Amino acid sequence: EVLGGELARLGGTSREILDDPGLRSLILTAVRHDYRIIETYRPAVREPLSCPLHVLTGSADPELGEERGRDRAGGWADLTTARTEVRVFPGDHFYLTPRRREVVATVLRRLDPSLTTGGAHTWPSTP
């Protein structure tokens, strides 16, 4: 199936799940709904924001392609008249799973620069 191949390409679903018919069916049902929302969403036309944007992305995210550049930030830079900063983490579309501590520390620093990265913790329920 095409959708199963797409999930494998993005790298966020283990091969064991995709190879198990029961789990695959369960996952694909949920993902189909996600994709339907993504494909039918049309944002309202609005004036660009005037605040800075901080974009986090994976270095090998196949969804960005040529849009990865710091000047465009996957299109996010078009949504503001202020500066756009891009932080590129090693990894694919799902880079934040193995890099969650770094991602949380980066977000905390952006929210409050006085926070130290040594104290950044994820919730126990975070995979």
Q: Give burial (CB, 10 Å; 0-12/13-18/19+) of 95.
A: buried
pLDDT per position as a tens digit, 3-53:
888 888 888 788 899 999 999 999 999 999 998 998 999 988 999 999 999
| Dihedral sign of CA atoms 122, 125, 126, 127 in order | positive
Measured distance CA(98)–CA(90) in Å, rounded: 10
Same domain, 36 and 59: no
* pLDDT one-digit tens code per residue, 54-112: 999 888 888 776 555 555 567 888 899 999 888 889 988 888 889 999 999 999 988 88
Indicate whether this model's pTM tops 0.75: no
**What's the rounded Cα separation, in Å, for the pair 101 and 122?**
7
**Domain limits at 10?**
2-40
Q: Are residue 61 and residue 107 in the same domain, yes or no?
A: yes
- Residue 125: inside a domain, yes or no? no
